[in-house]
Structure 1
Amino acid sequence: MLLRKIARPLLASAFIARGVDALQQPTSRIPAAERFSATVAEPLGAPTDPELLVRVNGAVLAGAGALLALGRAPRLAGAALAVSLVPGTLFAHRFWQEEDPEVKAAEKKAFFTNLGLLGGVLIASADTAGAPGLVWRSRNAARIAGLEAELAARTVSRNVSDKLPF
């Protein structure tokens, strides 16, 4: 579909740009990565180097964004972007902690922009490009198997009753 071929690269462009920026200039993102490291990475035993976390996140954003833009594994790419976007949003744009009204407004705008992007990648990760998804296929297979079992039972019942002498 033409819309899909246009929409995916447009959505992906925001992630590619953010990813490349994080890889080239990680410094501005380090405070958020430090909060993430102390809250999430350290208790999980994951790497805690903030600059490394920023660069890894940047690589995920750029790589998954490129995959989404090219239409290669778009569901997986959308899921990776969604997973990457959530901690970045929660730890980088904490508008509820800001005192300065201008900074608070800017952080609130960035927070809700990220929520909008999250909605877009969730839709992209659920998009099956018109083909039935795995859930539909499994439900349909179960329904067909049930119908076939019912038909087989009726056939056997008829055959048995036809051979009974009474």
Structure 2
Amino acid sequence: MTVVRALARPLLSVIFVVQGANAIRNPEPLVPKAQPVTDRMVPMVKKVAPPQVSDRIPDTTANLVRLNGAVHVLGGLALASGKGRRLGAGLLAASLVPTTLAGHPFWLEKDKTVRNQQRINFMKNLGILGGLLLAAVDTEGKPGVAWRATHGAKAAKRETKRGAKAAKREAKELAREAKHAAKLAKAELHLG
């Protein structure tokens, strides 16, 4: 791991761990802002999710806020520690979308000053989302699964061609040797 990664991951995750822990301990201040988003999203998710998932979705907005906080804490710790960092970054990115929509709906604000402040916070979250997406796909310089699969298939094809060419050369050489052996046998018959 590079020094930049060792510094960047904890810096990117600290807001999620701290705010997630706060949401778990004290969700009530966040409930009024989360309510409009959860009222729209939960029925949609319950409709498309399999029964074993939809049955486990919390019924109250406070518990949904706590659940989101838990995702933030766990994802943040995974990202910061490097253990499950890509999954953690992906979870944080996915949970940041509804968090941002609930927390910073600048388009609903009438007061110009409040609207500008909400817009700035909204855009900050978009920047954090970009960082999380980069962290989610970061393979630390190692080839990703897709690259390895593609290049593995190409390498296998190359090796197969090489093997076929070698087998063809070998068969030609054996044919030459057999022809030469036949000539020698024929010559011995004529001498003897």
Q: Does TM, scored on the shorter chain, surpass 0.5?
A: yes
> What corresponds to 1:11 in structure 2?
12
Q: 2:167 maps to which residue?
A: 156
**Secondary structure of the corresponding residue to residue 143 of structure 2:** coil
What whole-Å deviation, never above 9, does each CA across 1:98-139 have from its counterpart, x for those lacking one?
Answer: 111122112111111111111111111111122222122112
| Equivalent in the alignment of 1:70 | 81
1:37 aligned residue:
38
Contact 1:32 1:88 in 2 (8 A): no
TM-score normalised per structure 1: 0.90
Percent identity over the alignment is 36
Question: What RMSD over aligned residues (CA atoms) do the two structures have, in Å?
Answer: 1.7
Indicate whether 1:81 and 2:86 are aligned: no
Matched, 1:22 2:33: no
2:140 maps to amino acid: A
Q: TM-score, normalised by structure 2?
A: 0.79
Decide which structure has the larger Cα Rg and report it: 2
Give the aligned partner of residue 147 of structure 1.
158
**Equivalents in 1 of 2:26, 2:120: separation in Å?**
22
SS in 2 for 1:128: coil
Q: Which runs of 5+ in 2 are unaligned?
A: 47-53, 180-192
Residue pair 1:60, 1:80 contacting (<8 A) in 2 also: yes
- 2:106 equivalent in structure 1: 95
Determine the C-alpha separation between the residues in 1 that align with 2:45 and 2:74: 25
1:124-159 CA-partner distances (Å, limit 9, x unpaired): 111112222212211221111110121122223333
Q: How many residues align?
A: 165
What corresponds to 1:54 in structure 2? Answer: 65
Looking at structure 2, the residues matched to 36 and 156 of structure 1 have their Cα atoms a distance apart, in angstroms, of 66
Q: What do residues 72-99 of structure 1 show as CA deviations (whole Å, max 9, x unaligned)?
A: 1111111111111111112321111211
Deviation at 1:67, TM superposition (A): 1.6
> How many angstroms apart in 1 are the aligned matches of 2:171 and 2:33?
73
Three-state SS of the structure 2 residue aligned to 1:130 is coil
2:136 is aligned with 1:125: yes
d(CA) in 2 for partners of 1:55, 1:148: 54
Q: For the residues of structure 1 that align with 2:33 and 2:95, how far apart are their CA atoms?
A: 13
Q: Residues of 1 paired with 2:29 and 2:116: CA distance?
A: 19
Label 1:32 to 1:146 Cα distance change in 2 as closer, same or farther (>3 A).
Answer: farther
SS of 1:132's equivalent? coil
What is the deviation of 1:161? 4.3
